[in-house]
């Protein structure tokens, strides 16, 4: 049976969204892949916790200020109009993930997915309070006692604290650390956070979601809900790295009991260690399954056993279907990878160009819709506009609006300078006057220029001057 044919073997009806009904208690294992995994997971976790505290130019460095529709990423300020950048970043991230999946399988699921990281963390809390796998399994089956209630309460309390920290960190990317952690009021004598309603609701939702996902749903999230886990097998090809059991080498499996002839058995000694360490509770020896998040814990566990019994490592290993089934060397470079690489190069090039070419100043011109034009007391034709200026830099600037020189046309401003704070917008009413003896009847294109006081930022926008409407 090929690795792909073996996929989806786990019957969906066996699983339930509440993982506590058949709680998986994985044995914690160490080894080459687990070391990489733990370092990766905790580095990502640390980055998630630390990033909102970084400051840049006196402001939170990464801040998605949704209420004011300003999004700050270090020196860059994006507004809602710049949404295409967010869309481009999301597309780049998605294609990077697709490319990595074609090459290395579900490496995201096993090493970097938040569901995996938080589940690992919550399981570690259980291990710390109750003990390793056997103790936890015994604990689950044991009758209710004061000690059981106490240990459960400690586990749930730590999970709750971790969920609140997670929620607060999530929300601080949007609400900002300043308003989240420094807004207090006193209710009676008790200090209480002084947050707007949406912050309270977000805190509640994220705390609940984290607690439910990592404490209860765990692997069921990957097996039943996550769409990425489901459609990944479609992206696999014969050269995709997958965690596989070497069926030919391992079978017939069997314990080395007295009286058995090891010559008649394969290398699998049926110790079940690969099953015991599996965070999703599956047996990799049944073939590739949709529940396998490719964490490689079974590889490390089996290698340890192989070392102990004196057999070569790699009975369970990262391999490809081409290597394992067809006994041919895998192809690293293949058309699909090149296609993803080319697409990513184009997308990244486009985003880098757009970012470097971007002027952090925006101008928008709206005509006065009530009246196309009018005649003033000096007999000049007047057109009125609203010029919206947005300072997308992270410093205050003074901007000057000018009209590109054109015979017979002049500009009148209410203010000569428009001072704008960082991220501020302002609607400036302006009028353009046309000399009826000089300008042509009909519509004439006009260009407004906006320049910062230091001349560093300059943008232009066209509109029309019309003689119609008299
Ligand atoms: S850990 Fe290795 S030897 Fe033990 S049951 Fe699993 S495959 Fe067999
Ligand atoms: S089968 Fe192995 S690689 Fe897959 S989830 Fe279980 S331990 Fe991880």
Band of residue 21 on the pLDDT scale cut at 50, 70, 90: low
User: Whose CA is closest to 119, among 282, 302, 280, 298?
Assistant: 280
Nearest CA to ligand 1 atom 4: 271
Comparing 155-164, 210-219, 228-237, 314-323, which segment has the lowest mean pLDDT? 228-237
Instruction: Name the helix (H) or strand (E) containing 46.
Output: helix 32-50
Ligand nearest to the CA of 301: 1
Ligand 2 pocket check for 292: Cβ under 6 Å: yes
Comparing 174-183, 228-237, 373-382, which segment has the lowest mean pLDDT? 228-237
The answer to whether 388 and 364 are in contact (CB under 8 A) is yes
| Averaged confidence pLDDT in the chain | 88
Nearest CA to ligand 2 atom 5: 292
Residue among 113, 233, 279 whose CB has most ligand 2 atoms within 8 A, to mutate: 279
Give CA torsion, residues 190, 196, 200, 206, to 10 deg.
-130
Class for the domain spanning 361-466 = mainly beta
pLDDT of residue 6: 44
Band of residue 14 on the pLDDT scale cut at 50, 70, 90: very low
Please determine, for residue 107, whether its predicted confidence score (pLDDT) is greater than 80: yes
Longest dimension (CA), the chain: 116
pLDDT of residue 5: 44
Comparing 18-27, 326-335, 360-369, which segment has the lowest mean pLDDT? 18-27
- How far does residue 28's CA lie from ligand 2's centre (Å)? 13
Q: Where are the alpha helices (DSSP H) in 130-277?
A: 133-141, 146-175, 177-181, 197-210, 219-220, 227-235, 247-250, 273-276
Please determine, for residue 11, whether its predicted confidence score (pLDDT) is greater than 60: no
Estimate the share of the chain in helix, then strand, then coil, as percent rounded to the nearest 5: 45, 20, 35
Band of residue 8 on the pLDDT scale cut at 50, 70, 90: very low
Ligand 2 pocket check for 241: Cβ under 6 Å: no
Ligand 2 pocket check for 116: Cβ under 6 Å: no
| Integer Cα distance of 318 and 316 in angstroms | 7
Please determine, for residue 10, whether its predicted confidence score (pLDDT) is greater than 60: no
Please determine, for residue 174, whether its predicted confidence score (pLDDT) is greater than 60: yes
The answer to whether 28 and 124 are in contact (CB under 8 A) is yes
pLDDT of residue 170: 95
Q: What is the pLDDT of residues 50-92, one digit of tens each?
A: 999 999 888 899 999 888 888 888 888 888 878 888 889 999 9
Q: Where are the alpha helices (DSSP H) in 1-113?
A: 3-6, 32-50, 83-104, 107-111
Tally Cβ neighbours within 10 Å of residue 26: 23
Domain ranges for the chain, please list them: 1-358, 361-466
């Amino acid at each position: 049976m090929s690795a792909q044919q073996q996929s989806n073997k786990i019957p969906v009806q066996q699983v339930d969204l509440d993982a506590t009904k058949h709680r998986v208690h994985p044995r914690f294992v160490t080894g080459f892949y687990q070391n990489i995994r733990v370092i990766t997971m905790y580095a990502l976790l640390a980055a998630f916790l630390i990033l909102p505290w970084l400051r840049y130019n006196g402001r939170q460095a990464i801040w998605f200020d949704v209420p004011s529709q300003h999004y700050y990423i270090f020196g860059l300020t994006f507004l809602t109009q710049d949404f295409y950048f967010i869309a481009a970043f999301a597309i780049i991230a998605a294609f990077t993930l697709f490319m990595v999946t074609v090459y290395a399988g579900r490496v995201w699921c096993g090493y970097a997915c938040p569901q995996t990281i938080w589940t690992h963390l919550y399981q570690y809390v259980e291990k710390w309070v109750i003990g390793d796998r056997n103790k936890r399994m015994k604990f689950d089956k044991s009758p209710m006692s004061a000690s059981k209630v106490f240990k459960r309460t400690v586990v749930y309390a730590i999970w709750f604290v971790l969920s609140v920290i997670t929620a607060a960190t999530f929300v601080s990317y949007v609400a900002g650390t300043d308003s989240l952690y420094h807004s207090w009021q006193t209710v009676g004598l008790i200090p209480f956070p002084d947050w707007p309603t949406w912050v309270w609701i977000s805190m509640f939702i994220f705390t609940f979601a984290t607690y439910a996902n990592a404490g209860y749903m765990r692997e069921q999230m990957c097996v039943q809900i996550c769409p990425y886990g489901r459609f990944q097998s479609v992206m696999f090809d014969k050269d995709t790295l997958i965690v596989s059991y070497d069926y030919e080498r391992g079978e017939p499996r069997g314990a080395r009991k007295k009286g058995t002839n090891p010559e008649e058995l394969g290398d699998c000694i049926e110790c079940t260690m690969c099953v015991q360490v599996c965070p999703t509770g599956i047996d990799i020896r049944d073939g590739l399954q949709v529940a396998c998040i490719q964490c490689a814990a079974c590889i490390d566990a089996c290698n340890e056993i192989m070392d102990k019994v004196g057999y070569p490592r790699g009975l369970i290993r990262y391999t490809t279907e081409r290597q394992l089934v067809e006994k041919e060397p895998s192809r690293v470079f293949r058309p699909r990878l090149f296609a993803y690489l080319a697409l990513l190069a184009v997308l990244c090039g486009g985003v880098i160009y757009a970012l470097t070419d971007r002027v952090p100043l925006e101008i928008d011109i709206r005509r006065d819709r009530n009246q196309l034009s009018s005649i003033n007391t000096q007999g000049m034709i007047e057109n009125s506009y609203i010029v919206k200026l947005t300072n997308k830099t992270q410093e205050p600037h003074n901007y000057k609006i000018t009209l590109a020189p054109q015979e017979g046309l002049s500009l009148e401003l209410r203010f000569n300078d428009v001072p704008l704070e960082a991220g501020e917008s302002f609607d400036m009413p302006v009028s353009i006057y046309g000399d009826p003896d000089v300008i042509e009847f009909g519509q004439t294109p006009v260009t407004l220029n906006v320049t910062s006081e230091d001349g560093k930022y300059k943008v232009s926008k066209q509109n029309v001057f019309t003689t119609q409407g008299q």
